[in-house]
Structure 1
């Protein structure tokens, strides 16, 4: 299945890309770099470096807008590290970006694969909003859209009520949901975007033991990461992909630990990648979604009208239930063997 991935890479975005390239049912036809976890230029460097690490050729990477639609950019180096991938270092590469931007890349991919393309967004919705302005028919050209963002009847991770991706560019998120509501209000519900918020993704927590299982599946076992380790202890894994993932995840574990959540890390974006390929991994409930733009305390909050108070058609399938064990089993059985081939492609 052709997949177009819009990412703000990002530790968990990197793991989402690894999952896509490890999946035999996915054909990644393009990557869009979005400003979010780190500035867009660094996101592009990360995406190109990951392709070099994976040994993947002929996948275009397009750079998106450097700032949100209406507000200054806010980034999250405290969460993902100064370059976005924690302690990890990617190989140098002479790969280059496309001459066209991410919004045009979205439109080109959708036109090339009409009715087939799977769209995945794991960062702010800036690029997608700009693409919809270029091509209002984009919703009808996609087979499926999966968005990681929002928090539904659940606490935020950036403000008390707002999730990071939506908070970075709430105007873009509001615009995307408005367009999808208009495009699919009277159409079949299977065309609605699948939205995975914190209420779902925070159930999917990577731990050192699960990361150890991944390393073993790659044939590259190493010392299991521990909260007792010195901060920044480098991975001893022989496999280059496992080494990058362990060094990235160590930073991510440390961040979550410092937030009082334990020595673990939520894999928001890899879950979204998995759902893009197989929606049956998650149970959904349809609703009308909008984004608060003017509230003094609630700006960036995603609001779901579950009971139809607004009198508007549904514009999203909201993920409400997932089996984390089933997800991790699939993640390991795909990424483990893929990692074995890294350095040999």
Structure 2
């Protein structure tokens, strides 16, 4: 992508396996300038998320990117984490190098506001964890929706099953109150007046089509010049990567845990790359087909709490507040992921 225009991106993450791959995608993209990384509790506690983010910057040789510590729990309910899905430290079997960098001296909510004012009308916001930090940022700066160029959220499930409860997706279920608050504020800020500026929401109905397999992961290793044995469900649990490349080794060790988790759930020896897909869409929204809707989050239902509900036909009589992703070409996404992350890993040696 020689000569690509670099787009400023602020990433708010709860770094588990697929968040790490999303960050690697952004680092590898010539059309992205990551101007800050926010950390929120979700897949693992916020202190571990911060450590993972700093370690990824060290591993990838990225400098000049500040990592901020955000919310250590949801707005009004106790925190739940997902070590069963992502491993005790969030990155499966992978181990990151210790970082020499320290955390920014401000919160992630402040980082959102600062980045938006530093790049008014240009900043792309990406959220791949619970929406707690963004809700807090909106309380500090209600004009935030009009300062961003684009907001992409990985969360929810639209006319589709949940992955945490029967109807609720993980990121929304961790802090449904913050999600409901974000959607309400965005609708009030833009709604019918300028629907092109509504957030892009990528739910499980879309992201579960981005299925990583051992063969695709092997293609990535080859693209990095670091081929290794293709993973198999027949391998011993926790078999370490034999890749010589440090980034490929970390991604393979992280993905093995993710593959094993999905296999144990009866889904096959595979994994869904929710967050890397969201990172790709943040840089190029044309990767996905959308449908406009008014989205809200159920907060009181006994069986349906944290369910994302889309009013497709305006029956609520409320302003639009979302572009909901409904269709993706997975092969095109994986080609792009490999074309970017493979050569980037190779340059790292």
CA deviations on 1:104-161 (whole Å, 9 max, x unpaired) are 0000000000000000000000000000000000000000000000000000000000
Give distance in 2, aligned partners of 1:245 and 1:102: 26
Q: C-alpha separation between the residues in 2 aligned to 1:335 and 1:112?
A: 28
Match of 2:111 among 87, 101, 105: 105
Match of residue 342 from structure 1: 348
1:185 offset after TM fit, Å? 1.6
1:12 pairs with one of 6, 10, 18:
18
Alpha-carbon RMSD across the aligned residues, in angstroms, is 0.5
Q: In the alignment, does 2:210 pair up with 1:204?
A: yes
Matches within 5 A, 1:134-283: 134-283=140-289
Q: Please state whether the residue corresponding to 2:11 is helix, strand or coil.
A: strand
Matches of 1:99 and 1:188 in 2, distance apart? 35
Equivalent in the alignment of 1:125: 131
Distance in structure 1 (CA, Å) of the matches to 2:17 and 2:239 = 17
Distance 1:215 1:188 in 2: 43
In structure 1, distance between residues paired with 2:247 and 2:15: 16
Using the alignment, how far apart are the partners of 1:276 and 1:185 within structure 2?
20
Structure 1 residue runs of 4+, over 4 Å off? none
Contact 2:192-2:320 within 8 A present in 1 as well: no
Q: TM-score normalized by structure 1?
A: 0.99
- Aligned twin of 2:3: none
Distance 1:62 1:190 in 2: 29
> Unaligned regions of 5+ residues in structure 1, if any?
none
Question: What residue is the counterpart of 2:4 in the other structure?
Answer: none
1:92 Cα offset (Å): 1.1
Equivalent position SS for 2:295: strand
Structure 1 partner of 2:63: 57
Q: Secondary structure at the match of 1:6?
A: strand
Question: Does the CA contact (< 8 Å) of 2:151 and 2:282 recur in 1?
Answer: yes
Residue 79 of structure 1 deviates from its aligned partner by 0.1
1:51 and 1:92 mapped to 2: Cα distance?
Answer: 10
**So what's the TM-score if we normalise by structure 2?**
0.98
Cα deviation per residue 1:21-77 (whole Å; 9 max; x = unaligned)? 100000000000010000000000000000000000110000001010000000000
1:47 to 45, 53, 56: 53
Measured in 2, the distance between the counterparts of 1:289 and 1:54 equals 37
Give the C-alpha shift of residue 200 in structure 1: 0.2
Per-residue deviation, 1:189: 1.4
CA displacement at 1:315 relative to structure 2: 0.3
| 2: CA distance, partners of 1:145 / 1:108 | 16
Candidates 92, 96, 99, aligned match of 1:90: 96
